[in-house]
């Protein structure tokens, strides 16, 4: 008796359908630098028009993590792709790099073309927000490896920057000012703890209005990660930005020191902005200290930029003109490459 690939759980016709459904979303991200069309073995992107003395490429990769559990349970797949893009492009723009293109990896136990097309729709939206092209990806149907109805999602982004304009924090000094760009919520980190505090198997409870949150948990926890690329690229043309930190896993405590010189510490004023309700709720439910929660979540600040005092007003004005809710949250002081919460 013959056993076909379909008998083993992989139906290639579902893959063909998924490609057809996602084509329009993918093409919506194309620009004049994209060479070729969907379906090649590799994606091509021209950098011929980049006017740089010494262009260097900056690459980043990341996934969405266990936030996906809420997408599965709530059957909402159209924004999770934004998270995949955001986690990659927000990282590379910290070096002053302009994202050029993005690739995605989608793996599942059984392929549902409509669900994958919704995911790719979100990826395409994220790419448009970041000004980059979605030039390829991979769909892996792996029966017996992932449970039916679940999938994993990861991405990879490449950007470009003139070497002499790389932002790495080396020129940060005591007295420089830290500006925080507010987040849309939890973004895409810390969801292993989030799921313990809110649960991940009771759809009705998650969709019910929560007085403490001022919304349903479903609405708050699936809100996509903010993409800061266009705002940051505008800012670095207006003022000298000495350092940029994307506040992801590890929160303030681990991410900010990555841009600090050895003799500088970052002093953060916790009262300089209103921490969103979701973080207050989680801290109360978990019974953890400020140090612990600021070492886990973004606490309402998704990105930080460091500028000299004389550039603060110009920086705030430009960020606000680009739609950011930006506020001074601290300063650099003499110290030992650490975060001081005040």
Domain boundaries, the chain: 12-165, 177-341
Tokens of 109: 């136990």
Tell me what pLDDT residue 2 has. 77
| Per-residue pLDDT tens digits for 108-131 | 999 999 999 999 999 999 999 999
Tell me what pLDDT residue 21 has. 84
Classify burial at 207, counting beta carbons within 10 Å of its beta carbon; exposed 0-12, middle 13-18, buried 19 or more: middle
The fold of 12-165 is 60s Ribosomal Protein L30; Chain: A; (3.30.1330)
Stretch 314-342: mean pLDDT, rounded? 97
Tell me what pLDDT residue 39 has. 58
- How far apart are the C-alpha atoms of 139 and 234, rounded to whole Å? 35
Tell me what pLDDT residue 275 has. 97
Stretch 14-22: mean pLDDT, rounded? 80
Stretch 256-274: mean pLDDT, rounded? 96
pLDDT-wise least confident of 2-6, 20-24, 89-93, 334-338: 2-6
* φ/ψ of residue 207, rounded to 5: -85, -10
Mean pLDDT, the chain, whole residue set: 94
User: How long is the chain?
Assistant: 342
Query: Is the distance from CB of 167 to CB of 56 less than 8 angstroms?
Result: no
- How far apart are the C-alpha atoms of 93 and 105, rounded to whole Å? 21
Q: Confidence class of residue 38 from pLDDT cuts 50, 70 and 90?
A: low
- How far apart are the C-alpha atoms of 35 and 26, rounded to whole Å? 13
Tell me what pLDDT residue 5 has. 60
Neighbours of 163 (CB within 10 A): 10
pLDDT-wise least confident of 29-38, 243-252, 278-287: 29-38
> In this structure, are strands 44-45 and 34-35 parallel, antiparallel, or unpaired?
antiparallel
Same fold, 12-165 and 177-341: no
Q: Which residues contact 217 (CB under 8 A, 6 or more apart)?
A: 198, 205, 206, 207, 208, 210
Stretch 294-310: mean pLDDT, rounded? 98
Neighbours of 333 (CB within 10 A): 13
Q: Confidence class of residue 294 from pLDDT cuts 50, 70 and 90?
A: very high
pLDDT-wise least confident of 38-42, 146-150, 336-340: 38-42
| Per-residue pLDDT tens digits for 163-212 | 999 999 999 999 999 999 999 999 999 999 999 999 999 999 999 999 99
Stretch 233-261: mean pLDDT, rounded? 97
Q: Confidence class of residue 277 from pLDDT cuts 50, 70 and 90?
A: very high
Tell me what pLDDT residue 230 has. 98
Q: Confidence class of residue 19 from pLDDT cuts 50, 70 and 90?
A: confident
Which of the listed CATH numbers 3.30.300.30, 3.90.650.10, 3.90.79.10, 2.40.50.100 matches domain 177-341?
A: 3.90.650.10
Q: Confidence class of residue 4 from pLDDT cuts 50, 70 and 90?
A: low
Check pLDDT > 60 for residue 7: no
Tell me what pLDDT residue 8 has. 59
Neighbours of 48 (CB within 10 A): 5
Check pLDDT > 80 for residue 292: yes
Stretch 33-58: mean pLDDT, rounded? 87
């Amino acid at each position: 008796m013959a056993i076909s690939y379909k008998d083993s759980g992989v139906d290639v016709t579902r893959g063909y359908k998924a490609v057809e459904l996602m084509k329009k979303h993918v093409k919506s991200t194309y620009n004049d630098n994209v060479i070729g069309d969907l379906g090649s073995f590799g994606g091509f992107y021209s950098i011929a028009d980049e006017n740089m003395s010494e262009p260097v490429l900056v690459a980043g990769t990341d996934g969405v993590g266990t936030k996906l559990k809420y997408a599965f349970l709530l059957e909402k797949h159209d924004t999770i792709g934004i998270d995949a893009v955001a986690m990659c492009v927000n990282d590379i723009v910290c070096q002053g790099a302009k994202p050029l293109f993005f690739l995605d990896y989608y793996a599942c136990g059984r392929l549902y073309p409509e669900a994958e097309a919704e995911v790719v729709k979100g990826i395409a939206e994220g790419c448009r927000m970041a000004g980059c092209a979605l030039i390829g990806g991979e769909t892996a149907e792996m029966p017996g490896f992932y449970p039916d109805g679940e999938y994993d999602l990861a991405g990879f982004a490449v950007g470009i920057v003139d070497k002499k304009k790389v932002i790495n924090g080396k020129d940060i000094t005591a007295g420089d000012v830290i500006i925080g760009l507010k987040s849309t919520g939890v973004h895409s980190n810390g969801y292993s703890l989030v799921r313990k505090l809110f649960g991940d198997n009771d759809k009705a409870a998650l969709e019910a209005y929560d007085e403490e949150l001022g919304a349903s948990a479903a609405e708050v926890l699936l809100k996509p990660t903010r993409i800061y690329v266009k705002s940051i690229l505008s800012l670095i043309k207006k003022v000298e930005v000495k350092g940029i930190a994307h506040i992801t896993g590890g929160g303030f405590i681990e991410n900010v020191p990555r841009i600090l010189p050895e003799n500088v510490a970052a002093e953060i004023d916790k009262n300089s902005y209103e921490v969103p309700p979701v973080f207050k709720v989680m801290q109360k439910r978990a019974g953890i200290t400020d140090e612990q929660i600021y070492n886990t979540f973004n606490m309402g600040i998704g990105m930080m930029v460091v500028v000299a005092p004389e550039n603060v007003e110009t920086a705030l004005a430009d960020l606000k003109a680009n739609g950011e809710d930006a506020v001074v949250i601290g300063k650099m002081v003499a110290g030992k490459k650490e975060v001081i919460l005040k």
